[in-house]
Chain A
Amino acid sequence: SQQGEEDPQALSIQEGENATMNCSYKTSINNLQWYRQNSGRGLVHLILIRSNEREKHSGRLRVTLDTSKKSSSLLITASRAADTASYFCATDGNDMRFGAGTRLTVKP
Chain B
Amino acid sequence: QSVLTQPPSVSAAPGQTVTISCSGSTSNIGNNYVSWYQHLPGTAPKLLIYENNKRPAGIPDRFSGSKSGTSATLGITGLQTGDEADYYCGTWDSSLSAGGVFGGGTKLTVL
Q: Do A and B interact?
A: no
Interface residues of chain A, those whose CB is within 8 Å of chain B, are: none
Q: Which residues of B contact A (CB under 8 A)?
A: none
